[in-house]
């Protein structure tokens, strides 16, 4: 069978434990294809050794904050994540991690294909508007009453391939100058709620424009033309909303804008039973925010964080803050943690070569990062899956990180990344084989830095998760286990 010399490299703070192991199988017919496998006559051996990283050196951690997060993994990921199906709204604050302001921007389409007789018997304009929401509390004080403004969009939201989500998206540059509607909200939400909107002058103009539009514009086969005229809405916290209010998440498939008007009494009847009919006077057009007639409306979450007055104020200026002992990963556009591998990590690995002309092939590399508190409450608050990325600003997914495959098929993804919730465990284990192989061959800082952040895929939407990680300077710093093969210049192992 194939003979291989494999090693395990564990890096904890200033000490790196390396276990070199050869893996073999017994009672197996391994002759098939042996001519294609180099090193068939090598002896199997097991080596255990301990290597130092160098005085004061470790896998270091730092806090970073990016203006926007893009996803360059595949069209499937990008398109799916662009349509979040959830919206964040409101304002809240935390004495340690600052303020957060969230707004929802989305296109809207008639919820059902409009038939030619839709306007039959209609003699009045839309006279009232209700917003149907399906919200849940995320964080903050829900007793503080907030005012929200609903603006019409001036520009069309289109699918993009460079950004799925903006933390400082300038929606002000894409909305009308005056809000069309407004409403107030507070309290802990319960299921689906309908809120009557205050119709402002800009809203009255919008309703008249809707009524004056050609009826055929609302047909299901003309929704692109509809969006060119009625581009969508932005739900934005009013500037009067206190900073210490609450942040809510709204489920867009249950979000509708209902435009009410009065019908002619003589033209509309509905059957109550076989013998009785009653006249239906009030009618409405319903605009859906997503999942409409198999058409995915585009939605964007605008999340703005302000760390002023906190220990992380420098993040506002794009600076990196070194983490000592613990580091943080926040959801919905918060901090990410960058791990930087020192040169001595790779020098220790290179030193395992019998001679410089040998090649090291990474079979498997696993990153272990622990959380300090092993309680159910801490586990529930943390990300259930941690993502690891290179050049996080563009969020290039490493080859092992195909989360969608594990969610939609029976394929077992080597990445893992899930939180081990067992008592006394409390760690994330992430496969970083591709990253480490690349870092071994490239000694620049970017190639040897890995960013830990949320798993932003269509299958785990942006959340309010918050994870504390133990890093260099703590009792349980970052650990890496590497399985590798030494290959001779002639191709033998």
pLDDT at 76: 39
Cα within 13 Å of Cα(412), Cβ side: 1
- pLDDT digit string, tens, across residues 323-338: 989 999 987 778 889 9
Q: What would you measure as the largest C-alpha separation in the chain, in angstroms?
A: 96
Please calculate the CA angle 235-236-240 and round it to the nearest 5 degrees: 140
Q: What torsion do the CA atoms of 6, 12, 17, 19 make, to the nearest 10 degrees?
A: -30
| More confident call, 219 vs 352 | 352
Integer Cα distance of 62 and 322 in angstroms: 4
**Cα gap 401→381, rounded to integer Å:** 23
* Mean pLDDT computed over 438-443: 89
- pLDDT surpasses 60 at 9: no
Confidence (pLDDT) at 30 = 36
Identify the helix (H) or strand (E) that includes residue 345.
helix 343-350
CA distance linking residue 493 with residue 491, whole number of Å: 7
Among 474, 479, 267, CA closest to 368: 479
Distance CA 217, CA 214 (A): 6
- Residue 492, pLDDT score: 59
Identify the pLDDT of residue 8.
41
Distance CA 126, CA 152 (A): 17
Mean pLDDT of the region 420-430: 91
Instruction: Determine the Cα–Cα distance for residues 167 and 213; give it in Å rounded to an integer.
Output: 35
Q: Is pLDDT of 22 > 70?
A: no
Phi (first) and psi of residue 315, to 5 degrees:
-65, -25
Mind listing the pLDDT tens digit for each residue in 271-305?
Answer: 445 555 555 566 778 888 875 555 557 777 788 88
- pLDDT(165) > 70: no
The per-residue pLDDT for range 222-250, each reduced to its tens digit, is: 778 888 899 999 999 999 999 999 999 88
pLDDT at 426 exceeding the cut of 90: yes
- Please give the average per-residue pLDDT across 62-71, as a whole number: 70
What is the C-alpha to C-alpha distance for residues 487 and 493, in angstroms, rounded to an integer? 4
Are 64 and 335 in contact by the 8 Å Cβ rule? The answer is yes
Does residue 96 surpass a pLDDT of 90? no
State the Cα angle at 483 between 477 and 488, rounded to 5°: 135
Residue 436: how many CA atoms within 13 Å on its side-chain side? 25
How much of the chain, in percent, has pLDDT values that exceed 90?
26
The predicted pLDDT at position 234 comes to 94
Q: What is the pLDDT of residue 67?
A: 59
- By DSSP bridging, strand 198-199 and strand 181-185 are antiparallel
pLDDT in tens, 27-45: 333 333 344 334 444 433 3
Our separate counts of H helices and E strands in the chain read 7, 32
Contact 86, 302 (CB under 8 A): no
Q: In whole angstroms, what is the distance from residue 334 CA to residue 456 CA? A: 13
What pTM, to 2 d.p., does this model score? 0.75
pLDDT at residue 86 in the model: 77
pLDDT at site 117: 52
474 neighbors 325 (Cβ within 8 angstroms): yes
Mean pLDDT for the chain?
75
Residues 6 or more apart whose CB falls under 8 angstroms from that of 456 comprise 69, 71, 81, 164, 165, 387, 395, 462
Phi and psi at residue 27, to the nearest 5°: 60, 35
Say which residue, 163 or 152, is predicted with more confidence.
152
Q: Given a cut of 50, is residue 461 above it in pLDDT?
A: no
């Amino acid at each position: 069978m194939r003979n291989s010399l494999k090693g395990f490299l564990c890096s904890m703070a200033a000490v790196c434990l390396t276990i070199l192991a050869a893996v073999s199988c017994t009672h197996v017919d391994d002759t098939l294809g042996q001519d294609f496998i180099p090193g068939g006559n090598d002896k199997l051996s097991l080596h255990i050794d301990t290597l130092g990283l160098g005085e004061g050196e470790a896998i270091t951690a730092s806090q970073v904050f990016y203006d926007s997060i893009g996803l360059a993994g595949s069209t499937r990921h990008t398109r799916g994540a662009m349509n979040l199906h959830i919206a964040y709204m409101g304002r809240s604050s935390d004495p340690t991690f600052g303020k957060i302001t969230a707004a929802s921007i989305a296109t809207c389409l008639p919820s059902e294909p409009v038939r030619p007789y839709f306007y039959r018997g209609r003699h009045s304009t839309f006279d009232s508007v209700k917003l149907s929401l399906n919200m849940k509390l995320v964080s903050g004080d829900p007793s503080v009453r907030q005012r929200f403004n609903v603006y019409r969009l001036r520009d069309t939201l289109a699918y993009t391939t460079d950004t799925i989500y903006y933390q400082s998206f300038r929606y002000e540059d894409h909305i009308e100058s005056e809000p069309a509607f407004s409403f107030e909200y507070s309290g802990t939400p319960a299921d689906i709620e309908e809120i009557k909107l205050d119709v402002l002058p800009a809203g009255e103009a919008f309703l008249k424009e809707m009524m004056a539009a050609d009826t055929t514009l609302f047909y299901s086969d003309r929704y692109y033309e509809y969006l060119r005229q009625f581009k969508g809405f932005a739900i934005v916290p009013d500037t009067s909303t206190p900073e210490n209010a609450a942040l809510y998440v709204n489920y867009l498939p249950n979000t509708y804008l209902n435009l009410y008007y009065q019908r002619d009494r003589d033209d509309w009847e509905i059957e109550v039973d076989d013998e009785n009919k009653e006249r239906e006077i009030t009618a409405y057009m319903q605009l859906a925010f997503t999942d409409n007639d198999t058409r995915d409306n585009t939605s964007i979450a605008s999340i703005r964080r302000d760390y002023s007055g906190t220990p992380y104020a420098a993040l506002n200026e794009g600076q990196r803050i070194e983490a000592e002992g613990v580091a943080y990963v926040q959801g919905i556009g918060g901090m990410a943690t960058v791990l930087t591998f020192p040169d001595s990590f790779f020098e220790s690995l290179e030193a395992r070569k019998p001679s410089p002309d040998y090649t090291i092939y990474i079979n498997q590399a696993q990153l272990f990062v622990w959380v300090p508190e092993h309680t159910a409450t801490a586990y529930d608050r943390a990300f259930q899956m941690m993502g690891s990325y290179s050049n996080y600003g563009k969020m290039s997914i490493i080859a092992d990180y195909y989360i969608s495959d594990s969610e939609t098929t029976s394929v077992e993804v080597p990445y893992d990344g899930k939180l081990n919730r067992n008592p006394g465990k409390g760690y994330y284990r992430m496969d970083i084989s591709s990253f480490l192989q690349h870092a071994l061959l490239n000694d620049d800082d970017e190639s040897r830095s890995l960013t830990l952040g949320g798993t932003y895929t269509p299958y785990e939407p942006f959340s309010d998760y918050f994870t504390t990680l133990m890093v260099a300077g703590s009792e349980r710093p970052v650990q890496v286990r590497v399985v590798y093969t030494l290959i001779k210049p002639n191709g033998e192992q």
